[in-house]
Amino acid sequence: MPETIEALLGAAVGAGGIPGVVAAVGQGQATLGQWVAGQADRTSGRPMRADTVFDLASLTKVVATTTVTLALAGRDELKLGDPVADYLPDARACRDGRVTIAHLLTHTSGLPAGRTFHRWCGSRAELLGDLYQTPLDEPPGSRVAYSDPGFMLLGEVVAAVAGEPLDAAVRRLVTGPLGMTGTGFRPNGPAERFAATECRGDGTAWTGTVHDENARLMGGVAGHAGLFAPAADLARFTAWWVSTDDAVVPAALRQAAASCQTGSPGGRRGYGWACPGDAFDILGGGWPPTAVSHTGFTGTSLALDPPSGAWVVLLTNAVHAGRDATAVRALRRAVHETVAVKASIPP
């Protein structure tokens, strides 16, 4: 497997659609292989490093927001069936439609897929005011529809329950206890620490600043995007997720999160995670039905299978080359198919 993965990454970088990549594959607590290829920043020619920090984009949804919500549930500080309006009374559509926390976690709230709040809002407060008034497209529970606004609301629920901002709650309840020392919102440090994302009109790239425009308007801390992390921290996270360790989130609750919770049309979702057969599933047919995955717009992804303990961390800065995701989608398919075969993951 090491030679095969290395060849896949090298070919993807060589073809030009992916500037750089850091990847890790493991089973349980063991890391079976780690690889680095390409450039962290094409504009300067800076090479990728194993410890490069990536803008995780929508991986924020599972690593931060889903996990901290489950941590609060495990501590009996909230219940997944609680109405969102119990914590966010100004969220009119959630109040009128009886949207629950579980609806937000499974993308069945009925909220739209996305809204470009940053185009008409000038501050975090304005964005939240607009978000709270965003109407539902469909009744809650009627359909799976991946929703950034839903996870933006979930981040605010976490802050309300925890009595502190989302980033502080994630640090206290998730990344701190798991030893993910390089992971967080609004990261500090020189540009050389980070993988560059999209290039601006002047030719410079976003580096160390969140790429997502709505998250940027929210000050870099949002439930749908904004988290940064290196591959080693995400390897630690995925290894913990497939373990039976009850720290942070009880293992039984993590098992439920990685199981399909949706019976409505439109997709197959656990709590946060995409299950096999969902429109956002990246695993292909070689992985078992117990596996789950998630992607991020910048070019990042995670995959794991709790019963076998298999996991894959695949971090690219594909958006640094542009918004055409063809190359990173192909690389994800190839890597996950290779891991399924070479690691003999039981189907």
- Is 23 in contact with 12 (CB distance < 8 Å)? no
- Is 117 in contact with 217 (CB distance < 8 Å)? yes
Q: Residue 148 in 3-state DSSP?
A: helix
Domain locations along the chain: 2-342
Q: Which fold has domain 2-342?
A: Beta-lactamase (3.40.710)
pLDDT tens for residues 171-220? 999 999 999 999 999 999 999 999 999 999 898 999 999 999 999 999 99
Contacts of 152 (CB under 8 A, 6+ apart): 131, 214, 218, 222, 223, 224
- What H or E segment, with its residue span, contains residue 339? helix 326-342
Instruction: Using a pLDDT cut of 70, give the percent of the chain over it.
Output: 98
Location of structure tokens 């961390």:
313
What DSSP string describes 165-217? -HHHHHIIIIITTTT-TT-EES--S-GGGB----B-TTS-B--SS---HHHHH
pLDDT tens for residues 84-131? 999 999 999 898 889 999 999 999 999 999 999 999 999 999 999 999
pLDDT the model gives residue 121: 98
Question: Which pTM does this prediction carry?
Answer: 0.97
Distance, CA of 270 to CA of 102 (rounded, Å): 10
Contacts of 172 (CB under 8 A, 6+ apart): 162, 164
